[in-house]
Structures are given as structure tokens and as C-alpha cells.
Structure 1
Amino acid sequence: MGALARLVESGPFQGLSVGVILLAALVVGLETYPEVLRALPWLPALNALVLGFFILEASLRLLATWPRVGRYFADGWNLFDLVVIAASFLPETGPYAPVARVLRLLRVLRLVRFLKELQIILLALARAIPAMGYVILLLFLHFYVFAVAGVFLFRENDPVHFANLHTALLTLFRVMTLEDWTDVMYTQIYGCDRYGFGFAEELCTSPRAMPWAALYFVVFVLLGTVIFLNLFIGIIVNTMDEIRRRHQEDPPPDPQAVELAQLEADLEALKERVRRLRERA
């Protein structure tokens, strides 16, 4: 089975797998257009061919580990491949059809298996989560303090954006994403009767101009968008650099070398068993 192992780990075979995954992603995207489905009635057949290749690839990888098939199921990527294949057999008719189509998007995630840089990014994100815990806590406190202050300061003038705590939190999330955040700020600076309430003038019952509100929003944006965002980026970048350095200093073992070492261990165990049988005889 060494030949099969070399085949599935070879560059051309992996390149073919990446090409089929990209083709699967293209097919899923085209199927979102009803007019394309009508113009290209052979798309379902192409989708079936893609599924057939995935099944063939999984079968070859399983056979490559024979007779120690446990090694196949010990690999998380192989288990993910089986989940993708199983999801492809869900019926695309009936009430669960949208779910089946969405699950087919899992095929695109198989790219991570073949692209080492993507693996490093995902691994960095996973390993950075513990380090980001305190940053997330600080960010939550930042939101909470400014939201409570915003309710006390701006509720009368702007009941749309600062009526209560959860509304203020959503408003501040919008402000941090910089999505028309100046509209929210100008509503407080000029008052709801002069800016921002043209869509709901009946809600502007207590207009109040607060020029100093600019300080509130500028400080919130600087802290939330600049400082905290850079902290997140810095943690992730440092984690990625550490992972790359570890890969360079201690590269992953060659699959063929691992298989050879396992065969040698099995051979030594077999020799020991033969020696014991001879001693008993």
C-alpha cells in the first residue's frame, strides 16, 4: 500500500484535489442563480462528478492506510472529509433543502487541508483565543461603560439610539464599525430637531444640542477602533509568527518516514514474538 500512500500525498494528486474543490465552489455559486440552472441543465451532473471524486479520494486515503485503518480515522481531516461526503447525500428537496445546500459549502473548507498557510492562520486564530480573553473582557467593559453613559446623556434627545442599555450597545457596535457613525454623533451635537430624525420626527420630543458630545464619540472610536483592534491584530500576528517559527525549527514528520518507522517497529515486535515461540519449543 506504499504506492497508494505516495499517490495521495503527491503534488499532482493534491493539485487535482484543489482544482476539484475550486470547481465545487464554482458550481455552488452558480446554483444560486435560477437563470443559470435553466441555461446549464448539466450542472447537477457536474456536481455528482465532484462528489464521485471526493468519494474516490477518501477511498484511496483509506486504502493507503490498510491494514492499519485506525490511522485513517485518527486524522481529523479525514473525518471532516467523511462529514462533507455524508452531507452531500442529504436530499435537496423538501423542507430541509436549504440546509442541504448550505452544508455543501463545507466542500470549500477542504481547501484548508491542502494549503498550509491557511492552516497556519486558522491555528493562530485558535491559539490566540486564550490570549484574547482579557482583551475581550476589556472591550466588553469599554462598551458597557460607554453604553450606560450614553443612555444617561443622550436618551432624552435620541430615544432611537439610546433608549435603553441594549439599544445603546447596538448603537455603539454600529459606531465602532464606522457605519455612518457620524450621523449618530451629529444627532447629539445639533439636536434631534435639526439632524437625524427626519424619518421619525414624532419621536423627537425633547431636542437638545450638545456640542460636547463629539468628545464622547471620538474617545469611544479611538479606544474601540484603534487601540482594541490593534491589540487583536497584534495577538494574532504574534501567534502566527510563533507557529511559523515552530514549523521551521521542528517541521512535521514525513508521512513515508512515519510509515517506515511503524513498519520497523512491527517487524521488531514480530521478531520478538518468534524468538519467544522458539524458546518455548
Structure 2
Amino acid sequence: MNVIPRYSVSKVAHFLKTLVVLGILLDAVVMGVETDPRLRSSFSSLLEGLDIFCMVLFCVECTARVIVKAHRFSAQNICNTVLLLLSVIARADSSYWLFRIFRALRILRVVFYIPGLQYLVLILRQGVKAAAYVIIMLFFILFVFAIAGVEYFRHIDPENWGNLRAALISTLSVFTISGWVDHNTRLTGFGSVHHQAFFFIAIIIGNFIFLNMFLGLVMEASKHMKIEKKEEAKRKRKIKEQEEEELQLQTSAKYFHQLRLKYEQCEDEFIEPTELCTTLTWIDLHETSVKRQKEEMKKLKQLSDQTLRIQQELLEMELQEKRHLKRFREVRAVGAVGFTAMKFLKRKQHN
């Protein structure tokens, strides 16, 4: 009786979740179209209506989530609520560019509704935790190379190495091997080997060592997450099996009780069973319990035989140790007698 309501609730929840995801994707399309002034002026009313529809949908979903899960102050609910409030403020007053950015950030709410994206975010979070010291060390090395770049190339390329801010950006582009060719081309014509050694050492340390180390830690975190996920799924499966077994036992007991009441209330039977042991159902249950008891007794007998065998082996080992100890004492006694006799003979010869 309880299976149908649960199935209906899960089906409705899945439908609402799908509807919210489609609303987020529609909102992303609307915001993308609004970036083009020509399309924005041509379809202004349609875009306005779609934006209002998405906003109402998100507000209804957020309100329902707060009502249903009011006792759970999870990070997902808090983040969803904050992003929605900021987007509402941005719609009411679009003069602040920061609010407009938060309106665009609400597209990231799709992460909370797709399990694969949630798993990816968890992997990145675990990887960043594991690689925190690597990131700190990489920042210090980036700072050192930026200062060295300012000292070496300030007069040669002041646009990219004239101050510390520009040097940090240029050094980061060298570390990621995305712009080191352009920097090298600008500095090649001056005939100095400093810049070649600088780029070589920066690429080796920044890219081949630290960035690859960070990627390795992220992959290791992903591996641990997969192992933990498998263990958690195994635990949930085990708990579900135990619940199903308990449900079967409760159902069989309830069925047995109803069957016994039916037999007791039946007037057409020649024998009206009032005792529990006179029913056929009880006999079936008794046979099942007897079979289980036999199996348990068989297992207990096997365990008893194994215990006796182990005890016998331990006793034999103890007897062997005693024999070896006795032989060792006999040999030591004989050696002591021989040593005493030799001393006595030496003294006699000396005298």
C-alpha cells in the first residue's frame, strides 16, 4: 500500500527537477541572446516574457524547497537561495554591473540538478584540498619568477614586464605554455641568453612539475571518490536488503496471523483449530525452522571440529617445544659436567 504513494512522489519530484533544468537552460539561451543588441531590440517582448517565466519558475521551486526541506540547511539550498535573491535584485535594479554578473551566475544552478556535474565538482573540491600546499608553493614560485622578469625584461618589453601586475600575468602565461612563444619572440632580437634560460626554467618548474603534480593529485582524489562511492553504494545495497528481509518477515507474520484467524472463524471445518500447533501453516513454518536448525547444527559441528583440530595442533606444538627444551637442558648439563671435569684435570696437572 505504501509503494504507490512513494512512486508517485518520486515521479512528481523527477518531473519538477526536469522542468527546472529546462528552465535553467532556457534562461541561459535568453541571456545569451540578450548580449546581441540587434536581437535584443527585435525580440525584446519575447525575451522579457521568457525571463519573467524563468524567474517565476525559480521562485516557486525555491519556495517549495524551503518549505519541504526547512530542517535541512544544506549548502545547496543556501547557494540556490542566494543566487536567486541576487538575480531578483539585478532584475529590479540593473544599474550595478555586479548584480548583472550574479544574474548570469544563476546558470550554474544546473550543477545541483545533474549528478554527473555534482560528482565533477566534488572531485575538483577534493583535489584542491589535497593540492592546497602545491598551489601555495606554485604561487610563491610564480611571484619569484615575476620579480625576476621585471628585473631582466623591464627595459626590453615594458608592456608585459614593466610592473609586477603585468609580470605576474606574463609569467602565468609562460607556466601554462599559452603565450611563451610570443614573449620569446619579442625578446629574441636583443641577443641575450637570460631570457632563454628564464623561459626554459619557468616552463620546466611551472608546467612540467607543479601543474602536472596538481593534475595528478586531482586524479588521485577522483580515484578515492570512486572507491568511496562504490563502498557507499555497497552499504546502501546491504541496508536495502536488510530492510527487504525485515519487510518479508513482517509480511509473512501478518499473513500467518490473518490465516490463523480465518481458520478459527471458519464454521465448515470439521476440526476447529484453536491451538497454534494444529494449523498447516504452523507445520510448514516449523519444518522450515527445523531445517534451519539442522543447517546451523551442521555449521556448529564443522566449527567444533576445526576448533578441536586447532587445539590438537597447538598441543603437539607445545609437546615439541617441551621435548626440545628438555634436550637443550640435557645437553647443557652434559656440557657443564664436561667443563667441570676439564677444569679439574687442568688443576690436577698443574699441581
Sequence identity (%): 28
Distance 1:117-1:190 versus aligned 2 partners, 3 A rule:
same
Q: Which residue of 2 aligns with 1:219?
A: 201
Deviations, residues 78-102 of structure 1 (Å, cap 9, x unaligned): 2333223323322546563533332
Provide the C-alpha distance between the structure 1 equivalents of 2:154 and 2:83, rounded to a whole number of angstroms. Answer: 50
Deviations, residues 92-116 of structure 1 (Å, cap 9, x unaligned): 4656353333222232111111111
1:148–1:165 CA contact under 8 A, matched in 2: yes
1:120–1:240 CA contact under 8 A, matched in 2: no
Secondary structure at the counterpart of residue 96 of structure 1: coil
Pick aligned residue for 2:27 from 24, 28, 44:
24
Distance 1:157-1:232 versus aligned 2 partners, 3 A rule:
same
Root mean square deviation of aligned Cα:
3.2
Structure 2 counterpart of 1:99, one-letter code: L
Shift of 1:163: 4.6
Shift of 1:26: 0.8
Shift of 1:34: 2.0
1:120–1:244 CA contact under 8 A, matched in 2: no
Q: Which residue of 2 aligns with 1:51?
A: 55
Secondary structure at the counterpart of residue 35 of structure 2: coil
Distance 1:25-1:152 versus aligned 2 partners, 3 A rule:
closer
Provide the C-alpha distance between the structure 1 equivalents of 2:6 and 2:59, rounded to a whole number of angstroms. Answer: 20
Structure 2 counterpart of 1:216, one-letter code: F
Which gives a bigger RCO, structure 1 or 2 (Cα 8 Å, sep 6+)?
1
Map 1:126-137 → 2, pairs under 5 A: 126-137=125-136
User: Which has the higher Rg, Structure 1 or Structure 2?
Assistant: 2
Provide the C-alpha distance between the structure 1 equivalents of 2:140 and 2:49, rounded to a whole number of angstroms. Answer: 54
Provide the aligned length of Structure 1 versus Structure 2: 233
Structure 1 counterpart of 2:189, one-letter code: Y
Pick aligned residue for 2:17 from 14, 19, 35:
14
1:143–1:169 CA contact under 8 A, matched in 2: yes
What TM-score do the two structures reach when normalised by structure 2? Answer: 0.57
Provide the C-alpha distance between the structure 2 equivalents of 1:231 and 1:46, rounded to a whole number of angstroms. Answer: 46
What TM-score do the two structures reach when normalised by structure 1? Answer: 0.69
Distance 1:128-1:32 versus aligned 2 partners, 3 A rule:
same
2:90–2:103 CA contact under 8 A, matched in 1: no
Provide the C-alpha distance between the structure 1 equivalents of 2:35 and 2:13, rounded to a whole number of angstroms. Answer: 34
Stretches of structure 2 lacking an aligned partner (at least 5 in a row) = 244-351
2:33–2:40 CA contact under 8 A, matched in 1: yes
1:188–1:211 CA contact under 8 A, matched in 2: no
Secondary structure at the counterpart of residue 250 of structure 1: helix
2:211 equivalent to 1:229: yes
Larger deviation: 220-229 or 152-161?
Answer: 152-161
Map 1:139-218 → 2, pairs under 5 A: 139-155=138-154, 157-163=156-162, 167-191=166-190, 209-211=191-193, 213-218=195-200
Shift of 1:248: 1.9
